[in-house]
Amino acid sequence: MKYIDEYRDETTAQRYVEAIRRTVTRPWTLMEICGGQTHTILKFGLDRMLPEEVTLVHGPGCPVCVTPVELLDKAIAIASHPEVIFCSFGDMLRVPGSHRDLLMVKAEGGDVRMVYSPLDALKLAQQNPDREVVFFAVGFETTAPANAMAVWQAKQMGLHNFSVLSAHVLVPPAIEAILDAPGNEVQGFLAPGHVCTVMGYWEYEPIAERHRVPIVVTGFEPLDILQGLYLALKALEEGRPGVENQYTRSVRREGNVQAQQLIRQVFEVTDRAWRGI
């Protein structure tokens, strides 16, 4: 399968492992940000292939996992109102709040529905003009454009019964929080390729410069991860902070400019809690 099989080639993977072994001369600690990258590392045993000098710290990269309890409690409270149709992706339905989860609300009679797209929730708002339809918008910058488009379309259609409970998070502030934390030992990062496909990597450049760390935009297949690790470790060994793009088949420095404009038009950046940081 194109763009899959060639990035899982065992011989090429071993070459990257050997290149990493030749490059590393001292202990280094790296963090992959995205949960998809963590899944690949563990599924294919990439961490067990690396020399003992390399330590991988798994980052805070699952948007479901980092959603704080307070926000889940708010979602559960909203979903409990009889006039509300509460919509969410399936992975949020079983995440517990302080006392219960959204599936329990549904079992108690709440109108909680699983959707596959924010546009599904928008359609429900059109079909149920006498009900308030609330979409639980969870995710990194990757899902923000689609959710922003749903809000924009609702405004264009004059829908007054569609709203969004936003649980979006941004990656660059999380990286800064980790680097600023007392006792931080992370010396370099693999940045999430899907996020950077939307946002580009220009936002990471001042972070890399300010904290003197390498940040490598990395994909999600085994060879992506190994190449990203090699580039980050090579930069560390050479004392060369900055941003490199391993995921060139998907990511440009400027990202998807139109998607970014839509995000800025609909959403406002504010402080919020991030579970685990």
**Alpha helix (H) residue ranges in the chain:** 10-23, 35-43, 46-49, 69-79, 102-107, 118-127, 144-157, 171-180, 193-199, 205-211, 222-237, 257-266
pLDDT of residue 277: 65
pLDDT of residue 39: 94
**Cβ-based neighbours of 260, under 8 Å, separated by 6 or more:** 198, 199, 200
pLDDT of residue 228: 98
Q: How many C-beta neighbours within 10 Å does residue 238 have?
A: 10
Burial-class residue 128 by CB neighbours within 10 Å (0-12, 13-18, 19+): middle
Q: Is residue 222 within 8 Å of 4, Cβ to Cβ?
A: no
- φ and ψ of 149, to 5 deg: -65, -40
Q: What is the tens place of the pLDDT at every residue in 122-154? A: 999 999 999 999 999 999 999 999 999 999 999
Q: Is residue 115 within 8 Å of 123, Cβ to Cβ?
A: no
Signed CA dihedral, 239, 248, 208, 232: sign only:
negative
pLDDT of residue 6: 86
Q: How confident is the model at residue 275 (pLDDT cuts 50, 70, 90)?
A: confident
Instruction: Return the HEC string of 76-138.
Output: HHHHCCCCEEEEECHHHCCCCCCCCCHHHHHHCCCEEEECCCHHHHHHHHHHCCCCEEEEEEE
The structure's pTM equals 0.92
Closest CA to 179 of 31, 73, 2, 69: 31
Q: Minimum mean pLDDT among 14-18, 89-93, 200-204, 226-230: which range?
A: 89-93
pLDDT of residue 64: 86
Averaged pLDDT score across all residues of the chain: 95
Residue with token string 């060994």: 237
Q: Please, what are the domains in the chain?
A: 7-63+171-257 (3.40.50.11750), 69-168 (3.40.50.11740)
The CA-based dihedral angle spanning residues 179, 205, 31, 33, taken in that order and rounded to the nearest 10 degrees: 100
Distance CA(277)–CA(261), nearest Å, equals 28
Interval 75-82 mean pLDDT = 98
Q: What is the tens place of the pLDDT at every residue in 45-74? A: 999 999 999 999 999 878 888 899 999 999
Signed CA dihedral, 57, 62, 63, 69: sign only:
negative
Q: Is residue 46 within 8 Å of 260, Cβ to Cβ?
A: no
Say if residue 1's pLDDT is above 60: no
Closest CA to 8 of 112, 16, 19, 59: 16
SS3 content of the chain, % helix, strand, coil (to 5): 45, 15, 35
pLDDT of residue 223: 97
Q: What is the tens place of the pLDDT at every residue in 84-100? A: 999 999 989 999 999 99
One-letter amino acid identity for 257? V
Say if residue 114's pLDDT is above 80: yes
- φ and ψ of 30, to 5 deg: -120, 155
